[in-house]
Amino acid sequence: MRHVVSGTNYTMGLFQEIEELERKTAEVSGAEVIGKINRLEYSHQLFARNHKHLVDILEGVVEKPEIRDRIFSRKFRWKSDLLFREISFRLHNFVASAKSLVDHSRRVYTKVYENKGKFEEYDKVVKQDLVENGLIQFVHKLREMCQHYQLPRVSAELKVGEKTEMTLFIYNNELLLYDSWKSTAKEFINSHDEKIDLLKVTKEYYDQITSFHDWVKGEFLEMYSEELKEIESIHDEINQKKKDLIVNELEEVFELDKNERLERLKFVLSGCLSGADLRDLYKIEDKPRTWIIKGLNKLQKYFDVPQSLVTKIEKECT
């Protein structure tokens, strides 16, 4: 006679153990700050995405002859108007996300360094790399101009010679119509001869900000190394419990009537795959057997499913 562990009791016990481990994670010293650092990744992603959107359109104009030719064609002037309007919109989104990242980071990083008694060191780097940096302050004040005054007009210049060069820029005199530039940003504007190359500024700002955040992240990983190891250890334990839970649920499928198994297998796998995995599988949503086999393969990226169970599932889907 086959012995079966009560599915409900076993599953509830694992859920309780996982919940207890998650509470244990929250009680680790510095867990709140670590969580905020992780959530800051959304601001980084927003900034990186808006940077890419802006650079893509700027490089498309600068590097593609067919687009350059249209810009200076009377026939396609209406297209040029739409193009420059789109550049302005993307510029607005880029500088807005840049300042959002700065504000979100300041709040989180200040807490990180204060907790470890190293705020003075962090403040020194911020002052040197951000506060006293003309390029950085220019972009931050450009955000104020875009949001509180007006979008700057983007212009184009084509130099034809041995090598044709295209530049997209903002005129200094038009920037200076906004009267709230701080001295560091204003010095940066005045250091340029009449105009500022938009693509060059965008790329340089992104590189410098990324470099600063890489430095902070490295410092954070060093300062919180012990806390991160403790949390990682608990997470490993949680993942093992989740594996036990998932494997148990998959095994229980084979206690059901045969006509119920495919739907249940798909249901169990759907609950433990990532959003990206499910998005990939959506293309074969109407082929449950294929979906289950591919879903099982994706699950095994996260942990090893017992071969005996894999065999049973594959047999069920043939």
- Domains of the chain: which residue ranges? 8-25+231-316, 31-223
* DSSP helix/strand/coil, 171: strand
Q: How confident is the model at residue 187 (pLDDT cuts 50, 70, 90)?
A: very high
Give 3-state DSSP helix, strand, coil % of the chain, rounded to 5: 75, 5, 20
Range of lowest pLDDT (112-126, 128-142, 162-176) = 112-126
**How many CB atoms sit inside 10 A of residue 36's CB?**
15
CB 224 within 8 A of CB 198: no
How far apart are alpha carbons 240 and 246 in whole angstroms?
Answer: 10
| Whole-number Cα distances in Å, 47 to 87, 93, 158, 227, 278 | 16, 9, 30, 28, 26
What average pLDDT is seen over the chain?
Answer: 85
User: pLDDT tens digits, residue range 224-233?
Assistant: 788 878 877 8
* Least trusted range by pLDDT, from 5-19, 99-113, 289-303: 5-19
In this prediction, residue 4 carries a pLDDT of: 38
Task: Return left, alpha or beta for 120; rule: phi > 0 is left, psi -120 to 50 is alpha, else beta.
Answer: alpha
Whether the predicted pLDDT of 10 surpasses 70: no
**Nearest-angstrom CA–CA distance, 228 and 275:** 25
Task: Give me the mean pLDDT over the 251-255 stretch.
Answer: 92
DSSP 3-state of 157: strand
Residue 282 has pLDDT above 50, yes or no: yes
- What are 147-159's pLDDT values in tens digits? 999 999 998 887 7
Kindly report the number of other CB atoms within 10 A of residue 212's CB atom.
19
pLDDT above 80 (res 29)? no
Least confident of 104-113, 229-238, 294-303: 229-238
Burial class (CB in 10 A: 0-12, 13-18, 19+), 304: exposed
Question: Are the CB atoms for 111 and 33 separated by under 8 Å?
Answer: yes
More confident residue, 40 or 282: 282
Task: Give the pLDDT score at 5.
Answer: 42
